[in-house]
Amino acid sequence: MYVAVKGGEQAIENAHRLLADRRRGDRTVPDISLDQISGQLALAVDRVMSEGSLYDRELAALAIKQARGDLIEAIFLVRAYRTTLPRFGASEPIDTGDMKIERRISATYKDLPGGQMLGPTFDYTHRLLDPSLAADSDPASAAERDADRGPAMRVSDILGQENLVEEDGAASSDDPPDITRSPVEFPLERETRLQALSRGDEGFLLALGYSTQRGYARNHPFVGEIRIGEVALEMDLPEKGGTTVIGRLLVTECQMVNQFKGSAKAPPQFTRGYGLVFGQSERKAMSMALCDRALRAGELGEDRTAPAQDEEFVISHCDNVQATGFVEHLKLPHYVDFQAELELVRGMRAAFKETRETVDDNPQPEAAE
């Protein structure tokens, strides 16, 4: 019985010991190191950093190991640690235009200043299992390009020169919102919404983004640009004499360019959907950009007809730590409430039986009671 009158403590302790044992697995196989996870399962680490909203490869790797590779559990571990950290202040906005680019592609231009750079992508690989990876591998070192060609102009800025795409819009206040430090109140400002989307579940946003492509709030997207690379993180530190670089982040940015008819006031113009996540994750950044654009329906005067356009629906359900907790809480004991339902159903069944018997004895048209 899982609701033991006594002995619950011992049972929990034993369960956790068993978990530790299963986590370690076969003792003759070496323990996996954090460096191995961080280096060789880098995209898993990126996802945990991104949805855990904490940029720390080592901690993310530790969380993945502790969670036995369950990424949502690892995200949860990182979040529960992050929440205890003090806040020193806000950094300056990162400048993705000044990115040290690892990959940069545009679907809207054949070629463009700065070029198309494929980078480390799965695209165009044939998804054939590679048996050589089952053993230790030592691939040839990567081809290197000539000295850094300097920053590449953002595609949205190219379109912006002709006013073909809407302005980026200013922040609603100088003080950036923090959804982890203030309760979310609907309707949201776009920057708050983007914050929630950036840490939202990749699978959930992928499905919603996909739904917009299949007609549930179609918004005619083009990938203006996806860029992955390192940006400098700067902070205004007066004691250091001004803005100082405090670190570098690997981020993925996606700018979707979408159609917009224009209105009586505004000439026809492309609109933007924006995605930005920690690490390398095009799938997530693209899904985020599709959802961002769909969620701007109200602002752009479009009818809200589909789930992806519904802010309360999308934002209230995109956090996988919240979702997994509440779904999984159903396995907690609920027998007190169930007892109340049992009594009710028994009572209603008894009443039903009684009515049936009376009706059978004395058939009469049903009265509208």
Partner 1 sequence: MNPHASGFAAYNFAYLDEQTKRMIRRAILKAIAIPGYQVPFASREMPMPYGWGTGGVQVTAAILGADDTLKVIDQGSDDTTNSVSIRKFFEKTAGVATTTRTADASIIQTRHRIPEEPLKSGQVLVYQVPIPEPLRFLEPRETETRKMHALEEYGLMHVKLYEDIAKNGRIATTYAYPVKIEGRYVMDPSPTPKFDNPKMNDSPALQLFGAGREKRIYAVPPHTEVVSLDFEDHPFEINRFEDTCALCGAEGVYLDEVILDDKGNRMFCCSDTDHCEQRREAGHSGARAGQGLEASQ
Binding mask 49-78 for partner 1 (x = CB under 8 A): -------x-xx--x-------------x--
The pair of structure tokens assigned to 58 is 């080592």
Per CB under 8 A, the list member of 89, 333, 363, 365 interacting with partner 1 is 333
Q: Compute the least distance from the CB of residue 63 to partner 1, in Å.
A: 10
If one asks whether residue 302 binds partner 1 (CB under 8 A), the answer comes out as no
Considering only residues 18, 237, 342, 359, which one is a binding residue for partner 1 as defined by CB under 8 A? Answer: 342
Compute the distance between CA of residue 285 and CA of residue 271 in angstroms, rounded to an integer: 17
Toward partner 1, which CB reaches closer, 142 or 327? Answer: 327
Q: How far is the CB of 180 from partner 1 (least distance, A)?
A: 7
Binding status of residue 89 toward partner 1 by CB under 8 A: no
Stated length of the chain: 369
* Binder among 128, 129, 327, 367 for partner 1 (CB under 8 A): 327
> Does residue 325 sit in helix, strand or coil?
helix
User: What span, in angstroms and rounded, lies between the C-alpha atoms of 200 and 179?
Assistant: 12
Bridge partners of residue 256, in order along the sequence: 223, 273
Q: Is 1 in the site for partner 1 (CB under 8 A)?
A: yes
User: Which range binds partner 1 by CB under 8 A, 40-48, 92-100, 139-147, 340-348?
Assistant: 340-348
Are 33 and 61 a contacting pair, CB within 8 Å?
A: no
Given candidates 237, 340, 350, 359, which one binds partner 1 under the rule CB under 8 A? 340
- Residue 155's identity, in one-letter code, is V
Does position 335 bind partner 1 by CB under 8 A? yes
Determine the Cα angle at 160 with ends 156 and 161, to 5°: 125
Letter string b/e over residues 56-85, b meaning 16 or more CB atoms within 10 A of that residue's CB? bbebbbbbbbebeeebbbbbbbbbeeeeee
How many Cβ atoms from other residues are within 10 Å of residue 217's Cβ? 24
Tell me the C-alpha distance between 258 and 245, whole Å.
34
Decide if residue 186 touches partner 1 (CB under 8 A): yes
CB of 97 closer than 8 Å to CB of 157:
yes
Indicate the residue type of 136: D
Question: Which of 113, 187, 268, 301 lies at the binding interface for partner 1 (CB under 8 A)?
Answer: 187
CA dist., res. 31 & res. 62, Å (int): 12
Instruction: Read off φ and ψ for residue 237, nearest 5 degrees.
Output: -120, 95
How many Cα atoms sit within 13 Å of 211 on the Cβ side? Answer: 19
- Assess 321 for contact with partner 1 (CB under 8 A): yes
Query: For the window 240-269, what string marks contact with partner 1 as x by the rule CB under 8 A?
Result: ------------------------------
Nearest to partner 1 of 216, 313 (CB atom): 313
Structure tokens at 213: 């492509």
**By CB under 8 A, how many residues form the interface with partner 1?**
57
- Sequence-distant (≥ 6) Cβ neighbours of residue 109 within 8 angstroms: 155, 158
Which of 111, 162, 328, 361 is the binder for partner 1 (CB under 8 A)?
Answer: 328
- The yes or no reply on residue 30 touching partner 1 (CB under 8 A) is no
- CB of 77 vs partner 1, minimal distance in Å: 9
- 334 near partner 1 (CB under 8 A): yes
Q: Which is nearer to partner 1, 118 or 344 (CB)?
A: 344
Do 313 and 291 touch, CB atoms closer than 8 A?
no
80 or 237, CB closer to partner 1? 80
Q: Are 249 and 12 in contact (CB under 8 A)?
A: no
Nearer to partner 1, 328 or 360 (CB): 328
Q: Which of 91, 213, 244, 324 binds partner 1 (CB under 8 A)?
A: 324
Interacting residues toward partner 1 by CB under 8 A: 1-9, 11-12, 56, 58-59, 62, 76, 79-84, 86, 180-187, 312, 316, 321-322, 324-329, 332-337, 339-344, 347-348, 351, 369
